[in-house]
Amino acid sequence: MKLELRNIMINDIVFGECSKIQNNQLMINPKDLESIVLEDEHIAEVKFDIAKPGESTRITPVKDVLEPRFKIDSESQVFPGVASKVKTVGEGKTNVLKGMALVTSGRIVGFQEGIIDMSGPGAEYTPFSKTINLVMSAYCHEGVKPHEHEKAVRLAGIKVAKFLGELSIDVEPNEIQVFETLPLLQGIQKYPDLPKVAYVQMLQSQGLLHDTYVYGVDAKTIVPTLLYPTELMDGAIISGNCVSACDKNTTYHHQNNCVVHDLYEKHGKEINFVGVVITNENVYLADKERSSDWTAKLVEYLGVDGVIISQEGFGNPDTDLIMNCKKIEEKGIDTVIITDEYAGRDGASQSLADADPKANAVVTGGNANEVIKLPPMDKVIGHLEYVDKIAGGFNGSLEENGWITVELQAIIGATNELGFNHLSAKEY
């Protein structure tokens, strides 16, 4: 499977009379987007704002972040099974609006929606302080239940992202990147001397607002399976969860999965990257046993020498992470796991809820309990009053002078477990 990503640099976003992309500028007529969002009967009102890197702007509570993409030469389309027909993606040509992101916000659904600061100390911890953000704040009617609220905003975000991507249909890209993965046996023949490596991606599926969708299917209900890495780039996996902001994978993270990109970087040179195994993080023990057994079985069947395993969330999924690691190591296959830590505000506690000596190669996204002070911002998109309530916040987080004291947990993507950031932790 071969995919051409055609990056169109977006250097500016403005509101205007019509919606178009010209000279690397995205112009939006908010009315075009409103009509898409208000198609959903649960949503009463929607507003759009623009937030740029370096501005004194805070966005909260943030639900999801998406990158507008659109496929220009195939019958399949981005976000298959959700915003487009169910048709296998990952092949052909896909336009990408690079340098921008769609951020979805509004009132809080659960406890676990986060903060994006466009400048100041908080900005260093989130990748979305570096993108020009179009912020969609969607408000549901009174009486809409939390899970209906989550779903309505999730689908609205997906549809708006697709609409924005489609604006690029006739735009020439600034840069083209090509990614190719051959069918397994051909790939192995092509690089007989390179170590074979697979990527095991664990998807948040604890349920009750902790969900992920694969081609529209709730990941709770899948058994571990195989994907070509390029399928992720076309939105095969989308986020539907309100897990702690710091280590949930937004849809943007799935589209730009950095493990996939960094494995491709060494593919054909130092390793042979054969594909992706996706698995879930269900809460029942029988599901955990089945999924970790199957994951180990699939990587054994692929005949790989090593795997990278990435996690999403913390606590309960730590058990899935360790089960996957242990069972794969027991098959004689080398593993590296990517996780983050909850070592307490002082850093003195155990970082994970489960552990095993076989997990001897760990990459950490940092201690999510570490506390940060965020100065007041001139502009707030959204609602600051939830800061005391979100995961990582505490009573008194929001001070009268506008300062916010929170754990990194409250910042979108701060301790990402795909390894999206430079943040790490070490022992002092």
Partner 1 sequence: MKKLRVVHYINQFYAGIGGEEKADYPPEIREGLIGPGQALQAAFKEEAEIVATVICGDSYYNENMEESKSQILEMIRPYQPDIFVAGPAFNAGRYGVACGDITSHVQNELHIPGVTGMYVENPGVDLYKKEVYIIETKNSAADMRKAAPKMAKLVIKLGHHQEVGSPEEEHYIKRGLRKNYFADKRGSERAVDMLLAKLRKEKFDTEYPMPSFDRVSPSPAIKDLSQSKIAIVTSGGIVPKGNPDHIESSSASKYGTYDISQFDDLTDQDHETAHGGYDPVFANEDSDRVIPVDVLKEMEKEGMIGSLHPYFYTTTGNGTAVANAKAFATEIAIDLKNHGVDAVILTST
Catalytic residues, by residue number, are: 242
Residue of the chain from 306, 326, 376, 380 that contacts partner 1 (CB under 8 A): 306
**Tokens of residue 360, six digits:** 């001897």
Is 111 among the residues that bind partner 1 (CB under 8 A)? yes
* Alpha carbon distance 94, 72 (integer Å): 6
Report the relative pairing of strands 57-62 and 379-382 from DSSP bridges.
parallel
Q: Among residue numbers 237 through 256, which ones bind partner 1 (CB under 8 A)?
A: 244
Is 210 among the residues that bind partner 1 (CB under 8 A)? yes
Residue of the chain from 29, 53, 394, 405 that contacts partner 1 (CB under 8 A): 394
Is 399 among the residues that bind partner 1 (CB under 8 A)? no
Is 400 among the residues that bind partner 1 (CB under 8 A)? no
Say if CB 183 and CB 33 are below 8 A apart: no
Angle in degrees, CA 385, 388, 390, rounded to 5: 100
Burial 2-26 (b: 16+ CB within 10 A, else e): ebbbbbbebeebeeeeebebeeeeb
Is 265 among the residues that bind partner 1 (CB under 8 A)? yes
Is 22 among the residues that bind partner 1 (CB under 8 A)? no
Let me know if 211 is exposed, middle or buried by CB neighbors in 10 A (0-12, 13-18, 19+): buried
H or E element in which residue 295 lies: helix 285-302
Is 365 among the residues that bind partner 1 (CB under 8 A)? yes
Stretch of 18-26, 66-74, 132-140, 391-399 contacting partner 1, by CB under 8 A: 391-399
Is 262 among the residues that bind partner 1 (CB under 8 A)? yes
Is 370 among the residues that bind partner 1 (CB under 8 A)? yes
Q: Which amino acid is at 400?
A: E
H or E element in which residue 296 lies: helix 285-302
Q: Among residue numbers 65 through 84, which ones bind partner 1 (CB under 8 A)?
A: none
**Rounded to the nearest 5°, which phi and psi values hold at 357?**
-60, -25
Is 114 among the residues that bind partner 1 (CB under 8 A)? no
Stretch of 87-95, 128-136, 182-190, 335-343 contacting partner 1, by CB under 8 A: 335-343
Residue 166: which residues within 8 A CB-CB, separation 6 or more? 70
Residue of the chain from 60, 94, 105, 112 that contacts partner 1 (CB under 8 A): 112
| Smallest distance, partner 1 to C-beta of residue 349, A | 4
Print the binding letters for residues 145-164 with partner 1: x by CB under 8 A, - otherwise: xxx-----------------
